[in-house]
Structure formats: structure tokens, C-alpha cells
Amino acid sequence: MNQLLTVEDLSVAEIDHLLELARSFDAVLGRSVPKVPALRGKTVVLAFFEDSTRTRASFDLAARRLSADVATFAAGSSSLSKGESLRDTVETITAMGVDAIVVRHPHPGVPLAISRYTTASVINAGDGRHQHPTQALLDAHTLRETLGDIEGRRILMCGDILNSRVARSNIALFSKLGAEVIVCGPNTLLPPHSGSEMFGVSVEVVEDLDAVIPTIDVAYMLRIQQERIADAALPTLREYRSVYGLTVARADRMAPQAVVMHPGPMNRGVEIDPDVADSERALITTQVANGVSVRMAVLYELLGPGQFDDRDSGTYALSAEFDLINPDGSHDETQQHAEQEVVR
């Protein structure tokens, strides 16, 4: 693996491996000095051509927690505004000696295009309506940590499926991991589908949110993407909430152990009521926290020495790269053995 462009590129063994690695990094993040020298000497560029809070900040933190150098490419103040092409821009960044470029862009396919212009590893941090693979991985990590396993779980993806890269990525990844995926939303916000097949995987399409609510393990609410929706696609937001919103009354009808997820940013009071978003069922802040360890796992897998070998079926070599960094910044190899259990 030297790129992460879509979840389609990941085998189940690779997903399991990345999530195991993320568990190791959760342990690192719980230390008093939450940092390891695994990617010392590597350089990660954050190239965000579209706004982001969670993804940009967590990739930035993830790279720094691994001791990589981080450079931020600000599209708005770059020479793109003087007419420089995307290709020339990427080749210019590459010439400076970077190891990975993390790309967010409003247009589908731009991370793939960039991967053709650079020798650096490219990570898709969200491209238009297309894909958001690290969001799907962090959501799978969150569910495994919370529910124990994903296989056989009934996961409802609700809302603006058509415009959501999170829906595309998560439906594919949850399905790969053996979940029953249920899709619910207004017809105008569902992609074309034949029967129960959507984005190439088998899903259950339901019209009545109230009927399905008591049967699910996970209610994954999607943001109404007002910036991508033509005016005619929706009635009023109030009407949307009454039919497709996760209101307090609906959340009260969920099974006792069922959980609520949202990728953020939320439209509180539209797709999810504030009291539901802040309730004990909600995993929304856990999702954000897990974004750091999952993105550490992805960066480590792409740039670190422990390249995953599918034939190894989920095992990976322990490495001195996981050694501790002491509060004074020194690198303490003698403590490695004491930490091995945590790392593994």
C-alpha cells in the first residue's frame, strides 16, 4: 500500500491491520508524552483545497505525533491563483522532497490525478462527493471499540446519501466488514440504485425512518450538504427534520445499546437534534478523537518501515520506531520492551 485513494483499494485484511495499528496508537496517545519517532525525517504536506476542521487538524496532529515534519499548502494563497496548473503545483511541491501529500478537494478524482503527478504517497482526505476513506476507517475503529464487532450489525446511513462522500466510503467499508447496511433518505437525495444495490454493494433501502429505528444498532446521520444541493432537492429544513431527522422522540425508540454517529460538521436541529448529539448514545466526539490514531496508522503504514504484507494476515513486525520519546525529547530504546505489549 503506498496510496490511500478509496476504500475500494483496501482488502479486509488491510482494514483489520490498519485498525489494529490504530489501537496501538491509541495506547501511545494515552502516554504522558503522546509521541513516537516513527516518521522522523519524513515530510507530510497538507494540501486542502476545501475547508476542513476535523480532517486537517487530525492529520496535522497525527503526523506530528509520529515526529514527521508537516507543511501546509494553502490553496487560496498559492500560485494557483496566478494561473499555475495543478500539475505544476504538485510537481513543485514534490521537488521540495515530500513523502506524503494529504489532499482534500471539492472535485472527485483530484487525489487520483495528483497521485499521477508525484512520487509521494497520496492520501485522499475527501474529494467532492466521491470518497473519504480515513473517515470510514475511523468510524469502523469507533464501532469496533464500542460494539466489539461490526459483522452482523445493522447500520443505518440516513440523510443526504447522494452528495455524501462519507456515505459512499462508509457503506462500502461497513459492508466489507460484514454489516447489514440500511439506507434512508429523501428520493431526491438517494443515488440511482437498482433494487437493493447501491454503490456496487447490497443495501436495504427503506422509506420509513420510524419503522426501522427500533431495529438498528447504529444510526449514522449525514449532514445536509446545503453547498452541494440544488434548491429543488429538498422541501424546507423543518419538513426534512420531521421526516428524516434524528429527533429526541426517535432516539428514545432506539434499542438500549444502539449508538448514534455523525461525521461532522453537524446541522444541529436539522439532521440531528442537539439533545441527541449530546446524549450518551452519541459517539461523535469519540469519532473525532479516533481520527488522530487512525490517521497515524495510515501515515505509518504508508511511510513507515512496517509495510503490511497481506500474506501475513494481520500480523506486523514490532519495530524500534515505536520506542518512547522522553519528556526531554530524547529517544529511550531501553523502555521499548516494557511497551511492547501495549504496541501489540
- Cell 449514522, residue? 220
Q: Long-range CB contacts (< 8 A, 24+ apart) of 115-118? A: 115/3, 115/5, 117/86, 117/87, 117/90, 117/91, 118/90, 118/91, 118/93, 118/94
In the structure grid, which three cell numbers stand for residue 324, read together? 518512547
Can you state the angle between helices 133-147 and 284-303, rounded to 10 degrees? 120
Could you count the other beta carbons within 10 Å of the beta carbon of residue 201?
14
List Cβ neighbours of 200 (8 Å cut-off, separation of 6 or more): 172
Segment interacting with ligand CP, rule: CB under 6 A, options 61-69, 198-206, 261-269, 278-286: 261-269
CB of 104 to ligand CP, least distance (A): 7
Pick 56 or 153: Cβ nearer ligand CP? 56
| Region label for 181, one of left (φ > 0), alpha (ψ between -120 and 50) or beta (otherwise) | beta
Q: Which residues within the stretch 18-47 sit at the binding site for ligand CP (CB under 6 A)? A: none
- Is 79:65 a contact under the CB 8 Å cutoff? no
- Is 294:141 a contact under the CB 8 Å cutoff? yes
What single-letter amino acid sits at 41?
A: G
- Cell 459512499, residue? 168
Q: Which residues within the stretch 161-220 sit at the binding site for ligand CP (CB under 6 A)? A: none
| Binding pattern for the stretch 118-137 against ligand CP, x by CB under 6 A and - elsewhere | --------x--------x--
Could you count the other beta carbons within 10 Å of the beta carbon of residue 37?
17
According to CB under 6 A, which one of 178, 265, 305, 314 is a site residue for ligand CP? Answer: 265
Query: What is the DSSP annotation of 245-282?
Result: SB-HHHHTTS-TT-EEE--S---BTTTB-HHHHTSTTB
Segment interacting with ligand CP, rule: CB under 6 A, options 52-60, 68-76, 275-283, 328-336: 52-60
Pick 133 or 186: Cβ nearer ligand CP? 133
SS3 54: helix
Does residue number 111 form part of the binding site for ligand CP (CB under 6 A)? no
CB of 291 to ligand CP, least distance (A): 8
According to CB under 6 A, which one of 37, 109, 264, 269 is a site residue for ligand CP? Answer: 264
Pick 268 or 331: Cβ nearer ligand CP? 268
CB of 77 to ligand CP, least distance (A): 20
Q: Which residues within the stretch 312-331 sit at the binding site for ligand CP (CB under 6 A)? A: none
Does residue number 53 form part of the binding site for ligand CP (CB under 6 A)? yes
CB of 330 to ligand CP, least distance (A): 34
CB of 64 to ligand CP, least distance (A): 17
CA distances from 169 to 8, 129, 173 (A): 8, 10, 6
DSSP character for 38?
T
Does residue number 263 form part of the binding site for ligand CP (CB under 6 A)? yes
Does residue number 268 form part of the binding site for ligand CP (CB under 6 A)? no
- Residues in contact with ligand CP, counted by CB under 6 A, come to a total of 9
According to CB under 6 A, which one of 35, 54, 64, 228 is a site residue for ligand CP? Answer: 54
Pick 50 or 301: Cβ nearer ligand CP? 50
Segment interacting with ligand CP, rule: CB under 6 A, options 5-13, 232-240, 257-265, 278-286: 257-265
CB of 48 to ligand CP, least distance (A): 9
CB of 147 to ligand CP, least distance (A): 20
Nearest Cα neighbor of 302 from 108, 99, 145, 75 is 99
Does residue number 307 form part of the binding site for ligand CP (CB under 6 A)? no
Q: Which residues bind ligand CP (CB under 6 A)?
A: 52-55, 126, 135, 263-265
